[in-house]
Structure 1
Amino acid sequence: MKKENHTVVSEFVLQGFSSLHEYQLTLFIVFLALYILTLSGNVIIVTIIGLDHHLHTPMYFFLSMLSASETVYTLVVIPRMLSNLVGLNEPISLGGCATQMFFFITLAINNCFLLTAMGYDRYVAICNPLRYSVIMNKRMCIQLVWGACGTGLTVAVTQVSAVFRLPFCASEVAHFFCDIRPVMKLSCIDTTVNEILTLIISVLVILVPMSLIFITYIFIISTILKIASAEGRKKAFATCASHITVVIVHYGCASIAYLKPKSENTKDEDQLISVTYTVITPLLNPVVYTLRNKEVREALCRAIGKKLS
């Protein structure tokens, strides 16, 4: 939509998947099914970890926090996307758009740093097992979780304040939720400063945690390779496999979305990338940690057995 300098908007319209009009019902069914699976999987993980005392360890404490965060993360984006797909494309106020962006940024960054905390937990467990219970005590775990949440809140306040200080002259957001770049494109003025701020924040909250995880896994792999028995090496690798799978997909999608040049992809390509980290990645967490994690599967079987008995 062409920007007009004399127009001041008070609400936005999310275009969503308007270019795929003939497929919107199909997309609605697919995304609804994935959303239900995501909610169910994450709720089951949080419940199982809370009820089963065998899983009351730092590793599963972080996993339950990640699952809870992913649940709220999807609630922020997907319900409005689904309503748009069935024609309920109501405008969203500037305040509503700012609120959605705030919670999206907070939870996305929180997830990044929770994955980093999980990597540190694996590092201590494998590289310093004798001091694991001393280092990864309850206080340390809570501090890491609050640190992740606090970082997300701080960055979200900074980013949202910078974006919504801009004057907007167009009202149609070429996206299915209020993401940073699509909203900034509606501004009447040059957004170079905001683009630089967004890039700096993206580098700090994506590359820094990803680098820390990479470094921890260098030490982890080095330690595992020193284990004498093949069975011991296999067991040690198994404890990290689920985490590293989620890390690769999560940070890979985030890097493509926020570290690439802004004009590199088309609108449809940008939306496809966004679907990956708003719909697919949250589902990956419960799938990976239930199918690949023996302890979670056993806890789920115990819970089902108690219910049946």
Structure 2
Amino acid sequence: MDHVNHTWTQSFIFAGFTATRTLRPLAFFGTLCMYILTLVGNVFIIVLVQADAGLSTPMYFFISVLSFVEVWYVSTTVPTLLHTLLQGPSSISSTMCFIQLYVFHSLGMTECYLLGVMALDRYLAVCRPLHYHVLMNRHVQLWLAGATWAAGFLAALVPASLTATLPFCLKEVAHYFCDLAPLMRLACVDTDWHARVHGAVIGVATGCNFALILGLYGGILKAVLKLPSAASRAKAFSTCSSHIIVVALFYVSAFTVYVGSPGSRPDGIDKLIALVYTLLTPFLNPIIYSLRNKEVKEAVRRVSGRIRTSLEEPR
């Protein structure tokens, strides 16, 4: 009997969200609209930063890298969510499931490290303004951006590979994509050790990065409070406010889901929280970071003016 149970599952079935037949089309349409707007918003930021010289600063370079990460991040999970909303429970091969698990966590860890780099950029801009452009030159920007991708994809190897080696007795994943806790609940063996390793890897990576962000913002706060005028203090804080909002959204939802025992919360709660960092945060990032920003609005006007001029020129 033990031999029968410990077999490799060839495929998994996403249970998705339990919604009535009436609500399912509405949920599908709302999710599809958010997904399209997320892609459009983030691609818009990438193109605008590349097209306008006024945005060729380290801050906007890292924002464009974040937008690039978000395009892939949201595209890793939302298509499976749309499929389950449209068709109901759907299957995925075990190979594709573990690939999705690895890519999703790699991009999530990359975003985690990138938020730390963006905090460092703001710290240098506020606390080391005279040396900022030397310390954050183009070579350093590219190196830091590449390091976040390398660190993210390396850190995700441990939880993804450990989960992929588990024997599974059950097939129905109580989620809309392949994630650690829902998959571990399907295993034939005790997963306490795996859960501790996952918690240690993800907890150390995100916790250390979060501590770094807090330390950098402590330095920023100390420097800003020393500025002579209220206007200069407000201007310095305004350059950091968007980043603080995104950090709060990302870390509160991530810590809630990944710190603690995988079975300590009802399945439905994890799925709802997952919507925050898989769909809502990538949707809000372009708005929070850039679309309400005065510099971005001016860049849009400049680029639009150049396009109009080129169209009006006689051929």
Band of TM-score, shorter chain: over 0.9
Structure 2: gaps of 5 or more residues: 310-315
Q: How does 1:1-309 map to 2 (within 5 A)?
A: 5=5, 8-18=8-18, 22-87=22-87, 89-309=89-309
Q: Give the drift of 1:147.
A: 1.4
Q: Distance in 2 between matches of 1:207 and 1:20?
A: 39
Q: Distance in 1 between matches of 2:294 and 2:19?
A: 43
User: Cα gap change, 1:253/1:199 in structure 2, threshold over 3 Å: closer, same or farther?
Assistant: same
Q: CA RMSD in A?
A: 1.5
Q: Distance in 2 between matches of 1:62 and 1:227?
A: 26
Deviation per residue, 1:233-264 (Å, 9 max, x gap): 11111111111111111111111111143333
Q: Give the drift of 1:90.
A: 3.6
Deviation per residue, 1:37-94 (Å, 9 max, x gap): 1111000000000110111111111110000000000111101110111116441111
Q: Give the drift of 1:228.
A: 0.5
Q: Give the drift of 1:7.
A: 5.4
Q: Give the drift of 1:142.
A: 1.5
Q: Distance in 2 between matches of 1:6 and 1:285?
A: 43
Q: Is the 8 A contact 2:195 2:262 kept in 1?
A: no
Q: Distance in 1 between matches of 2:192 and 2:238?
A: 45
Q: Give the drift of 1:182.
A: 0.5
Q: Distance in 2 between matches of 1:7 and 1:193?
A: 20
Q: Give the drift of 1:5.
A: 1.9
Specify the SS of the correspondent of 2:5.
coil
Q: Give the drift of 1:133.
A: 1.1
Q: Is the 8 A contact 1:242 1:293 kept in 2?
A: no
Q: Distance in 2 between matches of 1:145 and 1:214?
A: 20
Q: TM-score, normalised by structure 1?
A: 0.95
Q: Who is 2:312 aligned against? A: none
Specify the SS of the correspondent of 1:262.
coil
Q: Is the 8 A contact 1:58 1:136 kept in 2?
A: yes
Specify the SS of the correspondent of 1:9.
coil
Q: Give the drift of 1:8.
A: 4.1
Specify the SS of the correspondent of 1:86.
helix
Q: Distance in 1 between matches of 2:117 and 2:50?
A: 19
User: Cα gap change, 1:22/1:201 in structure 2, threshold over 3 Å: closer, same or farther?
Assistant: farther
**How much identity, in percent, do the aligned residues show?**
39
Specify the SS of the correspondent of 1:91.
strand
Q: Give the drift of 1:304.
A: 2.5
Q: Distance in 2 between matches of 1:193 and 1:94?
A: 22
Deviation per residue, 1:216-245 (Å, 9 max, x gap): 011101101111122111111111111111
Letter of the aligned partner of 2:172 in structure 1? E
Q: Distance in 1 between matches of 2:6 and 2:203?
A: 35
Deviation per residue, 1:84-135 (Å, 9 max, x gap): 1111644111110011011101100000111100000000010011111111
Structure 1: gaps of 5 or more residues: none
Q: Distance in 2 between matches of 1:281 and 1:227?
A: 32
Aligned residues: 306
Letter of the aligned partner of 1:213 in structure 2? I
Letter of the aligned partner of 2:232 in structure 1? G
Q: Distance in 2 between matches of 1:295 and 1:264?
A: 45
Letter of the aligned partner of 1:118 in structure 2? M
Q: Distance in 2 between matches of 1:215 and 1:6?
A: 47
Letter of the aligned partner of 1:52 in structure 2? D
Q: Who is 2:313 aligned against? A: none
Q: TM-score, normalised by structure 2?
A: 0.93
Specify the SS of the correspondent of 1:130.
coil
Specify the SS of the correspondent of 1:264.
coil
